[in-house]
Amino acid sequence: MLQHFFIAGTDCGVGKSFVTCALLRDLCARGIDAAGYKPVACGDRTEARNIREAMGQPAYKLEDINPVYLRTLAEPVMAAEMERKTITLTELVQGYEQLAARHNVVLVDGCGPWESPLAPGFSMADLAAALKLPVILVVNNRPGAAGLVQLTLHAIRARGLECRGVILNHIGEEWSTASVTNARVISDLTGAKILAELIHGQDYIDAVETLGL
C-alpha cells in the first residue's frame, strides 16, 4: 500500500495537525507504516513534535518532519523575511520525497489556509499542486463552515487536484443548528464526501475508513 495525502484547512486553527495526529496514531496502531510531514511551522514546533509522537518515532529527527521552522508567529512569508530566510518549493518537495521513499503512507500537514503565502509568489497551494496528492479538507464545524468549504474546494479543484473529502472538526464545546446540519449542507452544496465528524475533544478517528485505505 502506497498512498499519501495532503491535509488542508479552510483557515488557521481548524485542527489540521490534530486530525493528522489522530490519523497517524490509528494507522500506526494497525501496523501501517505511516509518517507525518509538517513542511512549515511558525512560532514553535509543538505540532511537529506531536506528529513525531503520533508516529511512535521518538528518535526521528525533527528536521525530517519539519524542514522549515520559523520562530516568528506570523504568515510564513513575513516570518521568513524577518528572520532573513528563504522558503523554496524545492526544499519542501524534497523533504516530502524523502519521507515518501521510506513510508507507505505520508500525511502532509499544511500550514494555515489553502493559499497561505510562503514566499513572494509562492503559497501552500503551490506546494500541494507540486505534490499532486489527494486532499483531505478539515473545517471547524461552526456557522459559516459550508461557505468556507465551498470556497476552498473551488480553489483546490482549480489546481486540478482531487479532494477526497471533508472532515468536520467540532472545536467548540457548544453545538448550534449549523453544527448539526453542516454535513448535509456541505454535501448537497459541493458534492464533497463527508469523511468524518469529530466531536469536541475526540482524538480517535478510523484512519483506514476515513482515508479509504
pLDDT in tens, the chain (213 residues): 679 999 999 999 999 999 999 999 999 999 999 999 999 999 999 999 999 999 998 888 999 999 999 999 999 999 999 999 999 999 999 999 999 999 999 999 999 899 999 999 999 999 999 999 999 999 999 999 999 999 999 999 999 999 999 999 999 888 889 889 999 999 999 999 999 999 988 989 999 999 998
The full DSSP string for 76-129 is HHHHHHHTT----HHHHHHHHHHHHTT-SEEEEE--SSTT-EEETTEEHHHHHH
pLDDT confidence of residue 176? 87
Angle at 54 between CA 51 and CA 56, to 5 degrees: 115
Q: Is 193 a catalytic residue?
A: no
SS3 content of the chain, % helix, strand, coil (to 5): 40, 20, 40
Residues 6+ apart with CB under 8 A from 106: 4, 5, 34, 35, 36, 37, 96, 99, 100
Of residues 16, 38, 132, 193, which has the active-site annotation? 38
**What is the spatial distance between Cα 161 and Cα 108, in angstroms, rounded to a whole number?**
15
pLDDT confidence of residue 62? 94
Q: Which domains does the chain have, with CATH numbers?
A: 5-211 (3.40.50.300)
How many C-beta atoms surround the C-beta of residue 166 within 10 A?
Answer: 28
Name the grid cell of 191.
458534492
By three-state DSSP, how is residue 68 classified?
A: strand
Q: What is the CA radius of gyration of the chain?
A: 16
Give me the phi and psi of 8, to 5 degrees please: -110, 165
Are 65 and 51 a contacting pair, CB within 8 Å?
yes
